[in-house]
Amino acid sequence: MLMRSLLFGVLLTIVLAVSGCATLTRQDFKSVTPPISVAWQKTPDLRAPTWASVILTTFGGIVTAPIGAIVEGQSTKELKEKIVIPDIGFEVASRYMSIWREKGTAPEMVLLQFPIENDHKFPGASIDFKFKHYFIGADGGLLAHCKITMKDNSGRTIHGSWKMFVSQEGKRLSRDKFMDDNGKLLVEEIKVASQYLANEFVKEILSELSK
C-alpha cells in the first residue's frame, strides 16, 4: 500500500506540474461568432503500465529505464489487442456539447466526425480537447488528464484549462478484472471518466461566463 501511494503520488505530481489555465471573460466570448467547431485531438493509446514497468522506469537507471518502457509497451499492446477501447476524446467532446445545452444557453456548436492533428486549422471559432496523460495504473485505477482549448474566429486562444479524472480507490480493479468480458468494466470506467471531465469543463465555463 505504501509503494502504491508513493508511486501514485509521483505520477500525480508530474501531472499537476504541467497543468495551467486561461480564464474566459465575457468580452472574449463576445468575439466568438458561431457555429463553433468542437473537436478532439487524436487520442493517445491507453497506456497500461505494470508494477515492474513503473519501478524500472521511475526508480531505474540508464539501463533499466528502457527495459521498463518495453515492458509497458508490451502490456499496452496486449490491452489493445483484447479490448475495443472507446475513443475518450470523442466521448468528452460529444458529452460536453450535450451537457452545455442542458445546463445553460449554449452557442451553436458542430461536432467534427474525426479526430484532428495538433496543427489543425479551423475556419472559425473552435473548441478542442487533448489528452496528455491517459493510462490504467498498475493498481487498476484509470487516470485521464485532459485539456480544453477555445479559440475565437481569428484563432486567438481565449480559454484553456486542464481537468483530471482518477478512479475512486474503492473502484480500482486488478488488471485481470479490467480485462474480463472484453473489457466491459474498463469501457464503463472510460465512459464515467468522459462524463466527469465533460461536466467539469462545462461547470467551469458557465461559472466564468456568469461573472
What does the alpha-carbon distance between residue 134 and residue 87 come to, in Å, rounded to a whole number?
Answer: 12
Residue with cell 514497468: 53
Q: Three-state SS for 158?
A: strand
Tens digits of per-residue pLDDT, 114-127?
999 988 999 999 99
Would the pLDDT of 203 be above 80?
A: yes
Take residue 83 and report the three cell numbers written for it. Answer: 479490448
Beta partners for residue 110, in sequence order: 37
Q: 15-29, 37-51, 114-128, 191-205: which has the minimum mean pLDDT? A: 15-29
What does the alpha-carbon distance between residue 188 and residue 197 come to, in Å, rounded to a whole number?
Answer: 14
Together in a domain, 62 and 148: no
Would the pLDDT of 9 be above 50?
A: no
Number of domains in the chain: 2
What does the alpha-carbon distance between residue 160 and residue 138 come to, in Å, rounded to a whole number?
Answer: 30
Q: Are 80 and 72 in contact (CB under 8 A)?
A: no
Closest by alpha carbon to 97, among 79, 83, 109?
Answer: 109
Q: Are 88 and 192 in contact (CB under 8 A)?
A: no
pTM score: 0.82
Together in a domain, 68 and 161: no
Residue with cell 462545462: 202
Of the three residues 34, 61, 84, the one that is the final residue of a domain is 84
How would residue 33 be classed by pLDDT, with cut points 50, 70 and 90? very high
Task: List the domain range (segments joined by +) for residue 176.
Answer: 2-46+86-209
